[in-house]
Structure 1
Amino acid sequence: MSQIVVLSRAGEASLPPASVKALRVRHGVRFLQRHDAPTGEEAAELLAGATVLASTNATLPVLDDALLDRLPGLRHVVLYATGYEHLDIEGLAGRGITVTTLPEYATNGVAEHALALIFASATRIHLANDKARGRAPHHVSLRGVEISNRTLAIIGMGRIGRRLAQLAGGLGMNIIGVDIDPDAVASAAAARIRMVTHEAALREADLVALTASTIEGHFPILGACELALLHPDAFVVNVGRPVLADTDAVRDRLLARRLRGYAVDEVALDPGDPIDAVLMAEGRVLQSAHSAWWRDEVLARGAQMFAQAIQAAADGAPIHVVGPRDHALAAAR
C-alpha cells in the first residue's frame, strides 16, 4: 500500500469523487489544500512517510537535497502540469524517484488559445474593444490583416505545435515548422508539415508561434538577431514561457516599428512602465496572463488524468514518466 499526499489549491476537489474513492480502497491518501508551496521545513513535516507526492506547480515544494534527504520513502512525483523544466530530473532519477506529468490534458486548449492570439493580433480586436470602452487613444488605427494565405512558422512541433498546425492549416494558412527534437521532426513530417531551419522559418514567416518548451541552453529562441530576420509587418505569438522571446529585444523592435505585434500568454511587459503602457495602449502588445489552459474541458480532463497518473504511480506502474532524454529534448506538449 502506497502513502499518497496530494498538494493543491482545490484539495480533495482536485480529483473526481469516484477516483478519490478508488484510491482509498487500496492506498492511504491525504489531501492538503494550500494556496502556495510549503517551505522546506513545512514540506518535510507534511510529506513525512509519503511514497507518492502529487502536486500542482503552484503548491509544489522545492525538491532539493535537503528536503529529499528527509523523505527517504518518496518514490514518485506526479505533477499536474506539462512543463517540468524546474525539476532536477536526473537528480530525482538518481534517488530512484520517477516524475510523471500530464502531457496531453491541455494540448487542444493551448493550441486554440494560440490561434485566438493570432486572430486577435491580426484583427486588433483587443484594441477595438479598448476603443469602444474609451481606453485606447482615438488616433490609434484599428487596421489589421487577414490570416488566410499568410505563412505561420510554428517553433516547437510537439503536441501543441502539431495541433495548432492542424487548426491554422484548416483556415488556409501556410504552415512551416521548426524543432530540434528528431522525434518531433519525424512526427511533424508524418503529419505533412513542412519542416525548415530556424533561420529559414523566420525569413519566410508572416506570423511566428512559439510553442516550444524551455530547454536549458536553448532560449531565448527569439533574440535580437532572430527578430531581425522577420519582416517589419510580422507578428509573434508566444504560448510557451516568456523566456522563449527576449522581451527587451521584442520591445525594441516594436518601438522601431520593425515588428507589428507581440502576444504572450503571460505578463511579460509591465503595464506600469510608461513605454510598455504605450505599446499596450496602441494594441501592439497583447498579454493573456497565463490563461491558455484555463478551460472547462481542460480542467475536467486534467482532473481525470491527474487521478489516473496518481493511481498508476501508487500501484507501482507510473505512466508518462519523464526521463533524462525527455528533459534534454522536450518538445512542447
Structure 2
Amino acid sequence: MNILFSQIPEQWQKDFFTEKLSSHSLTFLDTVITPENVSAYQNTDVLSVFVGNPVNEELLSKLPNLTFVTTRSTGFDHVDLKATATHNVIASNVPFYGENTVAEHAMALVLALSRKLPQSLERIEDGKFNYDGLQGWDLKDKTMGIVGGGHIGMNLARMAKGFSMNVVVYDLFKNEELAKEIGFEYVELETLLTTSDVISLHLPLNEHTTHIIDEKAFKSMKNEAIIINTARGGLIDTEALVQALATEKIAGAGLDVLESEDQLKEEISFVAQNEDQSAFGTLLLDHILMEMENVIVTPHNAFNSKEALTRILQTTVDNIIAFESGTPQNVLSNGGKE
C-alpha cells in the first residue's frame, strides 16, 4: 500500500514507521496535507494525520485511491466522518496512549498556578531572591472538579487523591464501582462548578460540548477557582474566559489548548486570507490570555512524552496492519459499510 504520513518532522518517527511497515511504500511530510498540495500524492491508499490536519470533503475528493485514514490522536474533530463515509473511507484513531501523560501535564499546570512557579522563575531571572508576593495555596483538602470521567480524567482523579484533595466528577456515564475504588463522587455540572477549587476539562469537542464553559459557567465558579484545559480549546468560550480573569471572577487558568491555536500556528497566512471577523476576535483574545499573569499557556504539549509518542506510533502501525488484514480496529467510521 501507498501510505502517506503528514506532520512527521522528526527522523526517529520516520525510522519507526519505516521499520514497522517495511513492506509498504511510505511517504512522509513535515507539514500538513492540504487540498493545495495533495496533487502529488493522488496514489495514496492510506493516510495518517495528526491534530491540526483537517480531513474533509475537499481533501478526500482529491484522493481517489484512499481507503483508510488513521489519526495519531484520541480526538478526531479534525476528521469529517460524514465525508469519510461518503467516500467509503474507513477511519480509525488512537483511543488510548497518554491517559497518564496528559493527566500529569494537567496536574503540573495546577501546581504551577497554585505555587506561582512562573512568577518565581521570573523573579530569579531578574536577579532577585525574595518571595514577596509569591504566596501560594495548598492542594490538600481543596476540591478538584473533573469534567469528563474518561481514562485521562480518572488518572487525574487518582493523582488528586494523592495530594489529599476531594474529587468530584461530572460525566454522563457513571462507574460507581470505580468511584468507590478511587474515592470520588459523581455530581451534576452545576454542583461541580460551584464547589470546585480546581476545574479540569477532559471532554471531546463536539456540538454538545462546544463552549460548555461559558459566561454562565464562570459566574457559577468560586472567585478563588482555577480552570485547567488540556483537552480542546473550543470547550471554553474564550471571550468569557478573558472577562472572568480580567474581572477576577476566577483566579487563574492553565491552558494547553486554545480556541484559535491552529490560526496562531499560521498567523501570517491567517491574517492575510481569513475574512471571518469572529475568528480575528478569538485570535486576539488568545494573545491577551498569553500575556495575563494569572494564566499559563503551553503549546498543546500535554501529550508530548517519549512514552506516549511511542504508544501513538505503535497503535497507528497496529491500525494499519489491522486494516490491511481486513479487520479494522479502533474504528470511528466504517466507510459507509454495514
The answer as to 2:314 corresponding to 1:315 is: no
Matches within 5 A, 1:161-180: 161-180=153-172
Match of 1:287 among 283, 292, 297: 297
Distance 1:278 1:63 in 2: 33
Matches within 5 A, 1:264-275: 264-266=255-257
CA shift digits 1:29-81 (9 cap, x unpaired): 222232x22331431431x23322122235x4x43334433433322101111
* Structure 1 contact 152–174 (Cα < 8 Å) conserved: yes
**Pairwise CA distance, 1:255:** 2.2
Q: Which residue of 1 aligns with 2:246?
A: 255
Say which SS state the counterpart of residue 37 (structure 1) adopts: coil
**Pairwise CA distance, 1:134:** 2.0
**Pairwise CA distance, 1:12:** 6.8
Q: Which runs of 5+ in 2 are unaligned?
A: 260-282
Q: How many residues are matched?
A: 309
CA shift digits 1:279-325 (9 cap, x unpaired): 32xxx11111211111121222222222222222222222111149x
Say which SS state the counterpart of residue 157 (structure 2) adopts: helix
* Structure 2 contact 239–285 (Cα < 8 Å) conserved: no
* Structure 2 contact 57–80 (Cα < 8 Å) conserved: no
* Structure 2 contact 322–328 (Cα < 8 Å) conserved: yes
**Pairwise CA distance, 1:153:** 0.5
Say which SS state the counterpart of residue 24 (structure 1) adopts: coil
Match of 1:55 among 49, 55, 78: 49
222-231 or 64-73, which moves further after superposition?
64-73
Q: Which residue of 2 aligns with 1:40?
A: 35
* Structure 1 contact 122–145 (Cα < 8 Å) conserved: yes
Distance 2:92 2:321 in 1: 11
Match of 2:218 among 215, 227, 245: 227
* Structure 1 contact 224–250 (Cα < 8 Å) conserved: yes
Question: Between the two proteins, what is the percent identity of the paired residues?
Answer: 24
C-alpha RMSD over aligned residues = 2.9
Matches within 5 A, 1:298-313: 298-313=308-323
* Structure 1 contact 235–262 (Cα < 8 Å) conserved: yes
Q: Which amino acid aligns with 2:46?
A: V
Give me the TM-score of the superposition, normalised by structure 1: 0.82
* Structure 1 contact 267–288 (Cα < 8 Å) conserved: no
**Pairwise CA distance, 1:203:** 1.1
67-76 or 82-91, which moves further after superposition?
67-76
Q: Which residue of 2 aligns with 1:7?
A: 6
Say which SS state the counterpart of residue 322 (structure 1) adopts: strand
The answer as to 2:323 corresponding to 1:297 is: no
Distance 1:104 1:135 in 2: 44
